Structure formats: structure tokens, C-alpha cells
Structure 1
């Protein structure tokens, strides 16, 4: 690769927001190496805890509703004593969302 050509992100990073990729691109080499080290440790921790569920208190759903991809971010919100799941994900250049009452 020529020295002035920036590396192309792998396809696995398609689910990472453009803002996150831009923020990483703006960092210096030392910071990127520190982030890389942290991400390796985080990945190992997640691998170790993978079967334990997405939430420590068990409030997140185990399955996603129709039309919501499994890569969606889930937020649990309580309004007037009623719990709602708020799903958010990216499709192409658009951010999609869906709110579900369990």
C-alpha cells in the first residue's frame, strides 16, 4: 500500500457509525494503539461473558421483533410504570428505530 493511502476498514466495521470511524481516524498512532489494546481486552471479556445475556439484570429481550435486525442497539425505558424496548439500527445512510412494549 502506498504510504499516502489510508487503509480501508474491513466489512465487519459496516455496523460502526461513520462518526466513530471519523473519530478514530483523527487520533494519533499512540492513541490508536492504546484503543486497539483496550478493544482486544474488551473482546476477550465479551467472549468470556457471551453466554450470560446482554444485560446483567436480564431486562433486555432475548429475541428481536420482526423487522429489527439482531445488530440493533436496545434501550430499556420505563414510562409511567410500563417498560418499553427501544431498538435502533442503521440501514444504509438512515437510522431506523422501533419501540415495543413487551
Structure 2
């Protein structure tokens, strides 16, 4: 540890530097803890907002049920030689499906 006082970075406003210089070691530790937590919170919020913008779908299909997310896709499942449409989407590590309708034989 140096015996010289630390030099603040150039991008810190003078009033903040002056306030910190006048603070007790206990207050400085409190400020450091809060500043670190606040920075992490703001970074997380920015990532979530960016992800939400990427995941945003412009139009929701008219036949999409209210309890099915807009990112769902339609898949066909065959059960006992019958074919059915299902809405399908990912929830975390699992894939969720919801029945839509039978596949018409003339399609």
C-alpha cells in the first residue's frame, strides 16, 4: 500500500472527488459498496433491456392464444397415426407445447 494519497481518474467530477476526500474511511467503504452494487444493477438492467429489444416480435399472429408467447412457433406432432399442430416455445431449459388443431388431410 502506498503512503501517497490515490489520484482520482480524470472522468470523476471535482465535486465528487472533494466530497470523497472529506469522507471518513467508514463512509468511503459504504460508498464503495453501494457504487459497486449500483454498477452491477445498471449493467444487468442494460443487458435485460438489450435482450428484450432482440426478443421483441413486431406482430403477434391473430390465432395466437393469450397464454402462448409471441416467440412460439408451430410444429406438427404425429400421435397414433394422426397429425396435430402445436404451438411450441422454450421456457428456460425445457420446451413447452400447447395444442392448436388437427392437421387437415388436404394440406
Larger Rg: 2
Report 1 or 2 for greater relative contact order, CA contacts < 8 Å, sequence distance ≥ 6. Answer: 1
Normalising to structure 1: TM-score of the pair?
A: 0.42
